[in-house]
Structure 1
Amino acid sequence: MLRWVAVGLVAGWALHPVCDRLGVVPPLVSAAQPLAMLLLAAILGYVAWVTHRAVHVRRERLESHQAVNRFVLARASALVAALATGGYVGYALSWVGDPAELADERMVRSLVAAVCALAAVVTGLLLERACRVHDDE
């Protein structure tokens, strides 16, 4: 997981200097990006809650394909959200001390998106944990 964050951090930090060297305007983080991460976190959180209640509270058995599908969804979402978290943090850090007109706005929006992506990582990990089945002796 930390490798994905590190890769995202480096890629996000490199985006600003690469855009400057190519003469391209660096991207601005829109409101849709953190909202998409929040939507992902909400969906994963709901599925984690439902799965936890079914498996650990009511002691129901999930069908094997349901358990695998939920686990794969959780793992993939957590890894991609970790990459996005690192990317947004790296992009925000690349704007620290920059005299550009929209530097502060880019930094703040990137940090907000990073927090939303981190929420998706946490809920993905919660769904992974909810899919675990404990052996009863």
Structure 2
Amino acid sequence: MSEPEGRLTPTSPAALTAAVVLGLVLGWLARPVTTAWLGSAPVVTWVQPALLALVALVVGVTARHTHVSLQQRREPMEPHRAVNRLAFGRASAYAGALVGAGYAGYALSWLGLSAELAGQRMLWSGLAALAGVAVVACGLALERACRVPEDDPDA
């Protein structure tokens, strides 16, 4: 059975899973590839998890505002604005999955190594991965907030 014409389906779990797998592989490969090409691995500091947390905060606040406007107050929203927020939520979920998993893969690539900054890289990469999970959750929340109630005749 196909979806009615003009309706969008929610973010695909398969696509999110593919982004996570791709991110893990690319993150895990980052250390050996950059070490071979540049002679050293990238350093991860507090900036990366902080920026991802800021992105999660922006997406989360947008999701909350959208939810209150559309679901609780039932205020109308211009169609282009609703589509923009839906696209922003979906893109945030996919990007958060890819980037967060990339940092997780990078952290995993340091397990068992006694390199100079291995512990620091694992810590900050792990925190960035957690912030990436927050971006995914907030992106999915924003996408969900953009749903039009089933009983809306203008849907």
Output the TM-score relative to the length of structure 2.
0.85
Q: CA deviation at 1:23?
A: 4.9
Q: CA deviation at 1:20?
A: 2.8
Output the amino acid matched with 2:145.
A
Alignment of 1:43 with 2:22, yes or no, is no
Q: Which runs of 5+ in 2 are unaligned?
A: 1-15
Q: Which runs of 5+ in 1 are unaligned?
A: none
CA deviations on 1:55-100 (whole Å, 9 max, x unpaired) are: 1101112110110000011111111111011100000000000111
Quote the sequence identity (%).
46
**Structure 1 match to 2:30:** 15
Q: CA deviation at 1:31?
A: 1.5
Output the amino acid matched with 1:87.
G
Counterpart selection for 1:123 from 125, 133, 138: 138
Output the TM-score relative to the length of structure 1.
0.95
Q: How is 1:50-129 mapped onto 2 (pairs within 5 angstroms)?
A: 50-129=65-144
Let me know the Cα RMSD of the aligned residues.
Answer: 1.1
How far apart in 1 are the matches of 2:38 and 2:125? 21
Q: Which has the higher contact order (CA 8 A, sep 6+)?
A: 1
Output the amino acid matched with 2:58.
I
**Structure 1 match to 2:42:** 27
Q: Secondary structure at the match of 2:75?
A: coil
Runs of 4+ in 1 over 4 A off after TM superposition: none
**Matched pairs, number:** 137
Output the amino acid matched with 2:132.
A
Output the amino acid matched with 1:2.
T
CA contact (8 A) 2:28 2:106 kept: yes
Q: Secondary structure at the match of 1:30?
A: coil
Output the amino acid matched with 2:19.
W
Q: Secondary structure at the match of 2:151?
A: coil
**Structure 1 match to 2:6:** none
Structure with the larger helix share: 1
